[in-house]
Chains A and B, each alone.
Chain A
Amino acid sequence: MSTKYETVIGLEVHVQLATKTKAFCACSTKFGARANTQVCPVCLGLPGVLPVFNKKAFEYAIKLAIALGCEIQRVVKFDRKNYYYPDLPKNYQISQFDMPLAYNGKITVEEDASGASRSIGVTRAHLEEDAGKLIHDARLPFSYIDLNRTGTPLLEIVSEPEIRSPDEAHKYLTVLKQIIEYLEISDCNMEEGSLRCDANVSIREKGARKLGSKVEIKNLNSFKAVRDALRFEEIRQEEVLEDGEIISQETRLWDENKNVTISMRAKEAAHDYRYFPEPDLVPFEVKEEEVEIIRDTMPELPAEKIKRFETEYKLGHKDVEVLVSRKDIADLFEEVEKNVKKAQIAANWIKGEVMKHLKEKSTDVKGLNLDPVNLSKIIQMVEDGTISGLSAKEVLAVCLETGDDPDDIVKKKGFKQVSDEGELESSIENVIKKNQKSVNDYKNGKTNALGFLVGQVMKETKGKANPKLAGEMLRKKIT
């Protein structure tokens, strides 16, 4: 992207709310069930049935509204959005048109190096119901319909066209996802479709007031895809303009394999959805007390947590960012810190070993079956010299595997460090004998040779030696 143009991006995010039941009936919202097993006359849109609103979805939406600093509508009113599609059995979607539940919020993203931050406006967040899924098989002359997803509550979150770069779009999504995860109102699982994003992008000459023609990009299946597609698109649009041509307003699909966007359909006259108030649902008032009760249940949000961790635990910004990236990790850190009282050491363990295990198993702290008490014990054993750092990693691995008490693991596996001079004596003698060159190097001032020698002692003792003690003994013997 040259400096001649600037990019204007707006994002539309659909989040499936993690309510147990659907928005307007009692069917389960569980993902992955056999097709058409989580349906009832209401979500199937059979004639004569009526929707009954799930207040849990309202509560979740209010949580997000509060987190994004939105204004909250005083009356919850639903509208019908009319369009024909086989995955929409009523051929209208219950949504919110002119009175979105929440509006005028913001999401704050950090700018690059400086640490300064920028606010992106959130135009609106409204409740609606999800559609089903069509399943196509190119070999068949028909398609299947799975209506399990039909009627799942969605929150559509629309940003102002204030995002200025693909990177910023990525950050916006990361922050939004983090907030939603903290609120525990959605799984935010893009693979399962519980978080979906469409991007609107245009470019204009710097300083121009008028917005360029907007292109909508669909089929964005990850945050990376959003960034890559936007990067591709800003360059494509620049090339079009530089060739003296006009950007046509259209919808384009992101092709993840070829890394290009492909024109899907021209945006002719806007779709006429013939919105009108949903007569089957009576609008209800949002009571201030109700909002206050929800506000009281709000967890500490990432931005506040970052600030608190920096001041309370005196940790660096980079460390804190990792710890706060997820609520379960932040909670784990605080539990462990409470026990070991050494913030940096607890942070290092979590950033390193714990994150490694989380990534390997691609799970969360709960899924890892990690008891903070056990992790604290392991760290303490390293700190008081009972076991080596190396053994500790193994103890953690076994602990995660079996759930056994770290003390027992250390005993069973004989990880206890040798911290007795007499016991180490012979090993140290052996190492000195076998590594005369390093001994000489050390004598000649190459201080890091000591590290090598300590390593050899560890090897000799199968990791059981207390490295600190071994180092001291080696130094004494050599000099």
Chain B
Amino acid sequence: MDNIFFSIDTYRKWLEQADKPLKDTVSFLIERLLSIDKSINAFSEVEGEAIVARASVLGKGAKGRALFGVPIATKGNICLKDALTTCSSRILEGFRPPYSATVTEKLMAEGALIFNGANMDEFAFGSSCEGSCTGPTKNPWDRTRIPGGSSGGATAAVAAGEVAAALGSDTGGSIRQPAAMCGVVGFKPTYGRVSRYGLIAFASSLDQIGPITNNVADCAAMLEVIAGYDEKDSTSVNAEVPRYTDSLNQDIKGMKIGIPKEYFIDGINDDVRNCISDAIKVFKKLGAETVDISLPHTKYAVSCYYIIGPAEASSNLARYDGVHYGHRDRNARDLIEMYIGSRNEGFGAEAKRRILLGTYALSSGYYEAFYLKAQKVRTKIADDFKEAFKVCDCILTPTTPTTAFKIGERVEDPLAMYLSDIFTISANLAGLPAVSVPCGFGKGNLPVGLQLMAKPFEEEVLIKSAHAFEQNTEHHKVRACDL
């Protein structure tokens, strides 16, 4: 099948040349997506009629807009008015929000076609997309492997050429980790840069929506659309949004890139290690300098994250009780039975595990030892970065310690699963912007990603350095859908 989504630009040219009514294009795109998705399962349900209907109301002026007619997948935790938004959880079966997320509205205002409800680990709890109540999504590079997670469906949809780009959410790496494993670009903006309104919360202080794209230019264009203050989200920051596309094609000569020793540990597989050291050479060739830095509290990041994340999640998910909407245990005889039955049937294993963990961490007598201590560690981790950014402009690390693993491989071992986010978690704890860009292939032709992190609200630094790297390497030109 033709790869019409090499970039948003090439797709738009294709669209222009085809010169068909938008309605026909939309039907074509839906057909095309469904056909590819048979072997990927990036979507459990595509509400085609609704997509056609939304396209038909795009205003006359829409044609000139930045994303006119561009199909964009949104993760199943990003609300779209009247459309199924279930977080791949049984407990939200049939839930159709009466509102859209701010990011979705912004995309639609630019003329985008929203393919909502991309598959994910239930409530974004997971790193493999196996935690979906509708079954796992497959990695387009090797369908026996996981695409990463939790934004696995959205990412696989981009990598498989089902859509031009996607929006995911990243709480501990859920955009960057699958982007690395699927060979695409995944960007987590600074906490507060993008409105969370309409993003079904996992951990409110860590969650951030970001783009998943085929290349850095698309990423900059998407970010430009979705970033900015939103009065509906008190945690969004009221600061001017730069034109991210202006940071493309910039010279990175003299840029200082920090290499933290704590990120080059024994657990990294050789494929990843080799790709990263090749990448560092590319940066040097482009005139960037590398600086050895230390982020001494890195080793506490995973534990810290698995206290704060679940603590917030346990409270955020308390509302799913069968009373007001979503799944209800119909056999319950009283209120308590209804609570217990609905939640027991509605949540999957990982959700239950995290709710229990979080409830425990907030319980009286444990709060100080767990939650409060984790908050202190979080501050230390953020301080590490502040210190490091005194001597460098951005920090380069592997995105993940390994390439995509086999479906089922880590399902029974939550700790091993948690460790696949070991390099991505710190950026969430510190609220930093971070991006994963393709930097090569390991055994079995499996993609490897490199991660760049920058100071809060310095997304441009990431766009600039990631783009320079991308433009001087060939990895991003090799697509899973071309295999």
Give A residues with C-beta under 8 Å from B: 41, 44-53, 80, 82, 84, 86, 89-92, 145, 270, 272, 274-276, 279-282
Q: A91-B318, A276-B362 are in contact. Are A46 and B97 (CB under 8 A)?
A: yes
Stretch binding the partner chain, chosen from B29-37, B194-202, B410-418: B194-202
A45, A46, A272, A275: which has the most chain B beta carbons within 10 Å?
Answer: A46
Q: Verify B318–A53 contact, CB threshold 8 A.
A: no
A80 vs B315: C-alpha distance when bound (angstroms) = 8
Q: Which of B198, B232, B234, B311 contacts A276 (CB 8 A)?
A: B311
Is B363 an interface residue, CB under 8 A from the partner?
A: yes
User: Which of B204, B319, B363 touches A47 (beta carbons < 8 Å)?
Assistant: B319
Query: A90 to B318, Cβ gap below 8 A?
Result: yes
B369 within 8 A of A: no
Q: Is the CB of A272 within 8 A of B235?
A: no
Q: In the complex, A44→B324 CA distance in Å?
A: 9
A237 to chain B, nearest CB (A): 29
Query: Do residues B362 and A49 form an inter-chain contact, with CB atoms below 8 A?
Result: no
A48 contacts across to B, CB distance below 8 A:
77-79, 85, 97, 99, 101, 197-201
Decide if B92 touches A89 in the complex (CB within 8 Å). no
| A92 lies within 8 A of B79 (CB) | no
Residues of B with Cβ closer than 8 Å to A? 77-79, 85, 87, 92, 95, 97-99, 101, 196-201, 203-205, 231-235, 311-312, 314-315, 318-321, 323-325, 335, 339, 359, 362-364, 367, 371
Beta-carbon contact of B232 and A274 below 8 Å: no
Are the CB atoms of B319 and A41 closer together than 8 Å? no
Q: CA separation between A334 and B231, bound complex, in Å? A: 45
> Contact between B339 and A84 (Cβ–Cβ < 8 Å)?
yes
A282 to B231, CA, bound (A): 13
Task: Evaluate contact between B319 and A276: CB separation under 8 angstroms.
Answer: no
Cα separation A276 to B316 with both chains bound (whole Å):
12
Asked if residues B319 and A272 are in contact (CB atoms below 8 Å), the reply is: no
* Inter-subunit contact B97/A274 (CB<8 Å): no
Residue of B nearest to A272 (CB): B364
Known contacts A86-B323, A279-B205; decide if A53 and B99 are in contact (CB<8 Å): no
Q: A-B pairs with CB below 8 Å: how many?
A: 101
Q: A47-B200, A47-B319, A48-B85 are in contact. List 17 more A-B contacts (CB 8 A).
A: A41-B97, A41-B99, A45-B319, A47-B201, A48-B198, A50-B233, A52-B231, A89-B323, A90-B318, A272-B363, A274-B363, A275-B362, A276-B312, A279-B203, A281-B234, A282-B234, A282-B235
Contacts of A282 in B (CB 8 A): 234-235
Please, which residues of chain B bring their CB within 8 A of the CB of A46?
97-99, 325
The smallest C-beta distance from A281 to any residue of chain B, in angstroms, reads: 5
Contact status A92-B315, CB under 8 Å: yes
The answer to whether B79 touches A47 (Cβ under 8 A) is: yes
- CB-defined contacts of B321 to chain A, threshold 8 Å: 84, 86, 91
Q: Which residues of B contact A80 (CB under 8 A)?
A: 315
Bound form: Cα–Cα A92–B359 in Å: 13
Contact B204 A279 (CB under 8 A): yes
Given contacts A82-B315, A84-B339, contact A52 B324 (CB under 8 A): no
Provide the residues of chain A in CB contact with B197, threshold 8 Å. Answer: 48-50
> Once the chains are docked, how many angstroms separate the CA of A80 from the CA of B319?
13
A82 and B204 alpha carbons, distance in the complex (Å): 16
Contact A84 B318 (CB under 8 A): yes
* Contact in complex: B196, A47 (CB < 8 Å): no
Q: In the complex, are the beta carbons of A92 and B318 less than 8 A apart?
A: yes
What are 13 A-B interface contacts by the 8 Å CB criterion? A45-B324, A46-B99, A47-B92, A48-B79, A48-B97, A49-B197, A50-B196, A52-B232, A90-B318, A91-B321, A279-B204, A279-B312, A280-B204
The 6 closest A-B pairs by CB, nearest first: A91-B318, A279-B204, A274-B362, A279-B205, A47-B200, A48-B200
Q: How far is the CA of A53 from the CA of B233 in the complex (A)?
A: 10
> Which of B77, B203, B231, B319 contacts A90 (CB under 8 A)?
B319
Shortest distance from the beta carbon of B319 to any chain A beta carbon, whole Å: 5
B234 touches A49 (CB 8 A): no
Q: A47-B200, A86-B323 are in contact. Are A276 and B367 (CB under 8 A)?
A: yes
A92-B313 Cα distance, complex, nearest whole Å: 12
CB distance from B109 to the nearest CB of A (A): 19
Given A272-B364, A274-B362, residue A89 in contact with residue B198 (CB < 8 A)? no
